[in-house]
Structure 1
Amino acid sequence: MRREELLDAAEDLLCDQGSQALTLAAVAERAGCSKGGLLYHFATKEALIRGMVERLIEDFDQLVAAQGHDTYTKNYLDATFAAVRSGRLRRWAVVTGASGNPYLLAPLREAMARWHREGLETEPDPAAAQIVRLACEGVWDVASHDPTLYDDERYTELKRRLLALLPA
């Protein structure tokens, strides 16, 4: 059993049944492997949650890097809306909600600080860049807690308006 499949099973379990259902035995059953197979990759529930948090960060970093704009903020904006439209942000809410331990979310706090500082010194308008990044977090929050609140047309308009805040 691959590590990614175990993380997928844990995230699916969280989405379907909530954080109270996240046990190593339940994840192993969902993944179709033995508990020993799960323990080989994740010795504790905390290690499993940490693995999910780290994967969320890596996924978003890759999404930002794949955008190809001339500024980090434009890449960040496109990555945010790509994640919203694909449903990937739903995982943020369930994974962060599963961790009642602030220690397990420390990597996410560090990533958020990095994302908000990245490239600001090279942005044509650093204040506008910060406003757009903060607005993206609002989009993340809404989309992860209520994915049906806005349709594609509304997201397209929100993205267009946020892009208009940035110098060309």
Structure 2
Amino acid sequence: MTIKKAQRTKAELLEAARELLLEEGIARLSMDRVAERAGVSKGAIMYHFPTKRALEAAMIENYAEHLEREFHRHEAMFEGSPEETLVPGFIAWFRSFDADNKGWASVGVQLLSQQAHEPELLKPVRAWYDRLYARILRLPERRRTRMLLVIMALEGFFFTHKFGLDLMDAERKEEVYALMADLTGTAEVKAREEKVEG
């Protein structure tokens, strides 16, 4: 098997696993079903992922890579320094969750909920959060505290939305987003004029 073919097969297996997880939930995810969905043999999936735990670890890593891409894509929609674009980028990203971004948010919630007792598997997502918080912690103290408050509130929005507990209508959310921008001094940050491709 060539390196390119192996990489393609691995990507197809991860996509098949993601589709199954979205359609049927993580409890029904199995190596056999992923192999069948991807159209490969059991030996092929075992070559890439010797165990279900290895498959889930790769899915979590894939999800962390998605977080990185999406955050940078949304942050790039705004002009300014990194401390100015962080909150507007996060808010733009959170606005997109109603469309569910091809199911990625649901995938993340299921994977993180299932693996909460496996800190080793969560390392890629923890590393993503470490990088995010390191950025915030470089800010002056007053701004840093406000930024942490807003980011944690946005994370709360994410989980209530994905667990179906989101009781706020769109208008109320926009009021909260505006308050967040005011609190962090980012209300005047302008969106870039050119469209950012996703």
Query: Which band: TM-score by shorter chain?
Result: 0.7 to 0.9
Please name the residue that 2:145 is paired with: 127
- 1:147 Cα deviation after fit: 7.9
Alignment of 1:11-160 (within 5 A): 11-66=18-73, 67-68=75-76, 69=78, 70=80, 71=83, 72-82=86-96, 84-87=97-100, 88-99=104-115, 100-122=117-139, 125-146=143-164, 152-160=170-178
- 5+ residue gaps in structure 1? none
Task: Give, in whole Å, the separation in 2 of the partners of 1:141 and 1:122.
Answer: 26
Q: Is the 8 A contact 2:87 2:181 kept in 1?
A: no
Amino acid at match of 1:12: E
Runs of 4+ in 1 over 6 A off after TM superposition: none
CA RMSD of aligned residues (A): 2.6
Q: CA 1:92–1:147 in structure 2 vs 1: closer, same or farther (change >3 Å)?
A: farther
Among all aligned residue pairs of Structure 1 and Structure 2, give the percentage whose two residues are the same amino acid: 27
TM-score normalized by the length of structure 2: 0.71
What amino acid sits opposite 1:104 in the alignment?
L
Contact 1:56-1:92 at 8 Å conserved across structures: yes
Give the letter for the 1:9 counterpart: A
Give the unaligned 5+ runs of structure 2: 1-7, 187-198
Aligned residues between the structures: 167
Cα gap change, 1:54 to 1:22, in 2 (>3 Å):
same
